[in-house]
Amino acid sequence: MTDLLISGGAVIDGTGAPGRAADLLIKDGRIEALLPPGESVAGAEPIDAAGQVVAPGFIDVHTHSDVSVLLDGRAESKIHQGVTTEVTGNCGFSPYPLAARHHDQPRRHDHSHRHDQLELLAGIGDDPIDPDWTDLDGYATAFAERGVAINVAPLVGHGPLRIAAAGMADRVDADQVRTQQRLLADLLDQGAFGLSTGLTYVPSTFAETAELVELCHTLARAGALYASHARHEGVDSIEEAALLGRSTGVRVQYSHLAINHPDRWGGAADLVAVFDRLRRDGVDLAYDVYPYDASASALTQYLPAWVQAGGVPTMATRLADPGTRRRASTELARGWGRGVPWLWDRVILSRTDGLCGAREGLTVAEAAAELGRPEPDLVLDLCRAGGNRVQVVLRYRTEADMVTFLRQPYALIGSDGSALPYRIDRKPHPRAYGAHARVLGRYVRDLGVLDLASAIRRMTGDAADRIGIADRGRLRPGLAADVVVFDPATVIDRATFLEPAQRPDGIRHVLVNGTPVITDGRQTPARPGQVLRRLPR
């Protein structure tokens, strides 16, 4: 590899220290030295960073890029923001463990499990895949063969883990919990950084706290992370996550903290006080947040749990019965979650694949009016026809609450979005294209919510420490050379809800494992990304 010398910039090293003038020497994919400005290095290729900030590559602690990076290894929407590592396997979704393919024996028990695992995986919004791997090692081999521009740090999703042990059953016995623990331990041995749950998604939603305690004991023994997409919002969900940390010693990451219920808007300080109290009591608990007033997920997540039970094919069969459908429509119309009312003009159809004549980019209210249908009936039709592939954006949050969450010193940044191409025929949440640039532009420079060094620390050193990534997150000799060079005066997101696939401004250079992937704002053909592995305890 060519030696590189990034010179003339202000180095903000990911520790929280303010910027200082220094040049960065990179050799064999790692940081060799931080040098006094202007010191010459024979044979090193120069990268001009005059007037720019030089920082560690950003680590997005909450993403769903598990499949998208295999479909398009450029990872454009993230690498153009300076994100060099995606933490994948969140919200209970991951492309492992998977039952093996058995094309010649379609009625095999494990074939049914594989079908359910892949139906679940569709919930992260990507085109269907039919992998030839079953575990993390196999996924990593496929990742290397395809070539990807960025790194991933994988978690294990509780959904496929539970399906492997018990199918789509709503209850598990002790043997099935032990099977989950054994499979989890195997994947942790392969280098997974932890486990995530998606406690509003079938089948993860059926897990009782006692089941999660046993899994968290397995994590704690390995020194791995537990990341929780909670059952609901509010104090009860935070307390359940904290109970797992308190009773097992596992470190707990509460995913995408937010307030969705309109009656609770403005209550962010109360939830922060709960986190502060639990942390003072000794629970290793933190959260992540993304800088938007809207969320996004599979539409099926908002159906009553009994409608989702058994998985997508069972749900579709259930909704074919007129009496059952009437009951589902009546219950759906009352709201979602724990009594959150439907505001149909705030629910945007981001992926429909044209099903039921519903056009992407319309709100459910607009699509229903256009088709002459009641909103609950259209939602049920879309879920029956498209299953977990149908995706929505919900504008159910306030910026003021998000800012309160963002200000806290233990808050990390996670986009909850995937690495996506710029040429795309749907309208995903703009967080996939702009979250990290938005923090730097809107919430650091324009509004002063965070200072620059603190914001960078949240997205680099703190993120690496929390996830357990040992060799990244700071600009220090010996660490991997994941580096971003950006203009603090111009960096900003350009992605909007109507036109999400827009490049941010101000990201000048990005290096992944010492290889330039963005040079002067343009992407190179390089694909140096790796599947990172957790070091044994």
As averages over each run of 10 residues, the pLDDT of the chain (537 residues) reads 95 98 98 96 96 98 98 98 98 96 55 88 87 97 98 98 96 97 98 97 94 98 98 93 98 97 96 98 98 92 91 92 96 92 95 95 96 97 94 94 98 97 91 98 98 98 98 98 98 93 98 98 98 93
Q: Closest Cα to residue 204, out of 154, 165, 235?
A: 165
- For residue 467, the 8-state DSSP code is H
- Distance, CA of 7 to CA of 9 (rounded, Å): 6
The answer to whether the CB of 161 falls within 8 A of the CB of 184 is yes
Task: Please give, one letter per residue, the 3-state secondary structure of 286-320.
Answer: EEEECCCCCEEEEHHHHCCHHHHCCCHHHHHHHHC
User: What's phi and psi for 412, nearest 5 deg?
Assistant: -105, 170
Both tokens of 241, joined, read 């996550």
| Coil/strand/helix, residue 232 | coil
Sign for the CA dihedral angle at 511, 449, 285, 240 comes to negative
What is the reported pLDDT for 107? 46
- For residue 367, the 8-state DSSP code is H
Residues whose CB is less than 8 angstroms from the CB of residue 287 and which lie 6 or more positions away in sequence, other chains included: 253, 254, 255, 257, 275, 405, 410, 411, 412
- In terms of phi and psi (left: phi > 0; alpha: psi -120 to 50; beta: otherwise), the region of 363 is beta
- Alpha-carbon Rg for the chain, nearest whole angstrom, is 23
Both tokens of 50, joined, read 């005059």
- Distance, CA of 410 to CA of 402 (rounded, Å): 14
| Coil/strand/helix, residue 408 | coil
- Distance, CA of 252 to CA of 160 (rounded, Å): 20
Q: Closest Cα to residue 130, out of 73, 188, 70?
A: 70
What is the reported pLDDT for 341? 95
Tell me the β-bridge partners of 298.
Answer: 391
Both tokens of 207, joined, read 């897990």
CA of residue 77 relative to chain centroid, distance: 13
Task: Calculate ∠ Cα 12-15-21, nearest 5°.
Answer: 25
β-pairing, 10-11 vs 53-56, is: parallel
What is the reported pLDDT for 106? 47
What is the reported pLDDT for 111? 63
Q: Closest Cα to residue 77, out of 416, 333, 477, 392?
A: 416
| Percent helix, percent strand, percent coil in the chain, to nearest 5 | 40, 20, 45
- Distance, CA of 366 to CA of 87 (rounded, Å): 35
| Coil/strand/helix, residue 188 | helix
- Distance, CA of 196 to CA of 225 (rounded, Å): 8
